[in-house]
Amino acid sequence: MPHPTEPRAPSRVRRAVAEALAVVFPVMCAGCDLNDVDLCERCVAELRPDPRARRLGGLEVRSALVFDAVAARVIRAFKEEGRTALAAPLGRALREAWPSGWDAVPVPIPASRPSMRRRGYAPVVLVCRRAGWRPFALLRVVRPTADQRVLGRRERAANLAGVMRVRPGAAARLAGRSVVLIDDVVTTGATLAEAARALAEAGVPVTGAVTIASTPLRGASRG
């Protein structure tokens, strides 16, 4: 066995691989482009949670951050640039948005097949795990949709209508417990509304929703 003070071989190998990749693919802070760090101390501080709550279509939505400036850059880097190391700080922020009085099962908004093929991972599921939760894959996407980012409020709702369903047999495994929906960013609330609709049709009670961030909208309250 290796001596207790000596690093194990796999650790040395991982470190050597990481150092080699850092030379070929230099790392920059996802929030400010500072060299040689995934996220600098200043940007970590910018991700300090400031939970806000709003009601969207009768659903209470709690968000850890405002989707702006550093938070927006970090979330985009995590989702679109494959920077999975950022799931840890985002997961810590997400955890702080969950109210202490909610006793429910975390259910992530499902990723579509095209996004899974493109990314190779489901961002919401990964952040849930980094938050210390065990996400329950209750929902699935049943048809293709257009890119929500280019659509207005009404178009987003129409685009998502009927797109989610509860996985066959999955609701029975909840044993009557309620769920909390988990997503990365809430804008108009169309995605969460569609998920809540699918759950209501299956008789699954929804306590509320928790997201990493919310776009700046009037009427959001802190707390």
The DSSP code for 67 is S
Predicted local distance difference test score (pLDDT) of residue 99: 94
Predicted local distance difference test score (pLDDT) of residue 218: 52
In tens digits, the chain (223 residues) has pLDDT values of 333 333 334 456 655 544 444 445 568 999 999 998 999 999 999 999 999 999 988 899 999 999 999 999 999 999 999 999 999 999 999 999 999 999 999 999 998 888 888 889 999 999 999 999 999 999 998 865 655 555 555 655 555 656 789 999 999 999 889 999 999 999 888 899 999 999 999 999 999 999 999 998 654 444 3
Please name the amino acid found at residue 96.
E
pTM of the model: 0.80
Q: Distance between CA atoms of 136 and 114, rounded to whole angstroms? A: 21
Q: Distance between CA atoms of 47 and 161, rounded to whole angstroms? A: 33
Predicted local distance difference test score (pLDDT) of residue 157: 57
Predicted local distance difference test score (pLDDT) of residue 156: 58
Extract the tokens encoding 213: 């961030």
Predicted local distance difference test score (pLDDT) of residue 31: 95
Predicted local distance difference test score (pLDDT) of residue 22: 46
Phi, psi of 197 (to 5 degrees): -60, -45
Predicted local distance difference test score (pLDDT) of residue 112: 81
